[in-house]
Amino acid sequence: MGTEKPVWNNETARKIVKEKAALPGALLPVLHDLQTHFGYIRPNFVPEIAKALNLSRADVHGVISFYHDFRDKAPTGRIVKICRAEACQSMGVDRLEDHIKGESSITLEPVYCLGNCACAPAVMVDGKTYGRVTSERLEELLS
């Protein structure tokens, strides 16, 4: 669930880039589309993106590393997004992160507000949001 993406394929990636290349500010839409399709943006495809959009490689790398949502590796296992924003921080969300950090079967991603602040701390597991999550509940969700 959530992680079953096609393996990276340069032909398909080129088509995706071409579809959006003419847009003003095409880089973000292109990166989003690549990540939506493959689940990540392959680092050795960055020069092609840069060339197609007339940007430097550093520009493209900079944007990929600036936005936490972009990945440069294929995600493994379940995708868990833990909210790092204020309401969830104040409800001890750090404990949840400490609890599952280092689990190889999980791709852990920070997110800044899941729109579920009233039920902090909030996490998203495989695209579904849960509120008032305790360490025990998180284990249950992942089992």
Calculate the alpha carbon distances from 54 to 12, 21, 26, 42, 58 in Å: 20, 9, 10, 18, 12
H or E element at residue 79: strand 78-83
Which lies closer to ligand FES via its Cβ, residue 46 or residue 116?
116
Of the pair 15, 132, the CB lying nearest ligand FES is at 132
Site size toward ligand FES (CB under 6 A) is: 12
- Segment near ligand FES (CB under 6 A); pick from 16-24, 57-65, 68-76, 83-91: 83-91
Distance, CA of 137 to chain centre: 22
Nearer to ligand FES, 33 or 126 (CB): 126
β-pairing, 128-130 vs 78-83, is: unpaired
Helix (H) or strand (E) holding 83: strand 78-83
Side-chain-side CA neighbours of residue 132 (13 Å): 2
Among 16, 49, 80, 83, binds ligand FES (CB under 6 A): 83
**Residue spans of alpha helices (H) in the chain:** 10-20, 27-38, 46-53, 57-66, 86-90, 93-100, 135-142
125 binds ligand FES (CB under 6 A): no
Q: Does 88 bind ligand FES (CB under 6 A)?
A: yes
Nearer to ligand FES, 37 or 84 (CB): 84
* Among the listed residues 41, 46, 60, 122, the single contact to ligand FES using CB under 6 A: 122
> Under the criterion CB under 6 A, does residue 120 sit at the interface with ligand FES?
yes
Q: Which residues bind ligand FES (CB under 6 A)?
A: 83, 85-88, 113-117, 120, 122
